[in-house]
A = this chain, B = another copy of it.
């Protein structure tokens, strides 16, 4: 799968190269964590690669967002807006919820094949415009399914509470439905402030499992602090397993062929923490009837 560069300095290696195309990524964080900055960096990168962008703003006015994008180094954002390569949509949560219910099919049809980058910033008022959690889930599920078809989506979500808190209904539902969830942790201490980013989940990707410190730098935007270690690509375990299974299991040749395809995709690192004989025993026990 071809990956998409996120536009965030230092993030792509943590995502095994970038974001998956036609996926939905949810960015969660408190006020001041840099969610809007993340979103504009993401759109900018796409535009620099000649992909159209859609910014759906549910809270801020266009002027403030443009001003902050410029402060973060995107000097020519207005150029993209004028050329209509970047579409800016301003709506209230209720209007956007209504738009999803009534006009999304038209919108999707129009953008079919455009391979756009789409930002919804923040998603929170859409959640608030609907009271019932069942309805929230259904609407969001529909929105995610449809927008994934025409491009790659980043949504921001406000995190409430003084402690990092990923358990509110407004946060949990999008987390379950999204393909990729990134937490921007932002802690205001008495004599320091700490920012760290973690990929909570990312479907169909190897990804980092740790919190990574980041800074927000004027003129640049979010920048991650420490380069992650390369993932080691050796294949000793899969190779040894293949021999073991051939020798010890009762699979017929075509069954064996079918099964070892899986092992071909694996590297040693995928098994970390599992002892070799555990793996071997488990597999042979399970595949033999």
Contact = CB atoms under 8 A, between A and B. Distances in A.
Contacts of A262: 73, 75, 219-220
A282 B223 contact: yes
A210 B92 CA distance: 35
A276 interface: no
A132 B191 CA distance: 36
B10 A227 contact: no
B31 A200 contact: yes
21 contacts: A9-B282, A10-B282, A12-B285, A31-B200, A73-B261, A92-B138, A93-B137, A128-B137, A129-B134, A161-B167, A188-B200, A191-B210, A193-B209, A213-B273, A215-B273, A218-B270, A219-B262, A219-B265, A224-B282, A225-B274, A225-B278
Interface of A: 5, 7-10, 12-13, 31-32, 49, 59, 61, 64, 67-68, 71, 73, 75-76, 92-94, 125, 128-129, 133-134, 137-138, 141, 145, 158, 160-162, 165-167, 172, 175-177, 179, 181, 188, 190-193, 198, 200-201, 203-204, 206, 209-211, 213, 215, 217-220, 223-227, 258, 261-263, 265-266, 270-274, 278-279, 281-283, 285-286, 289
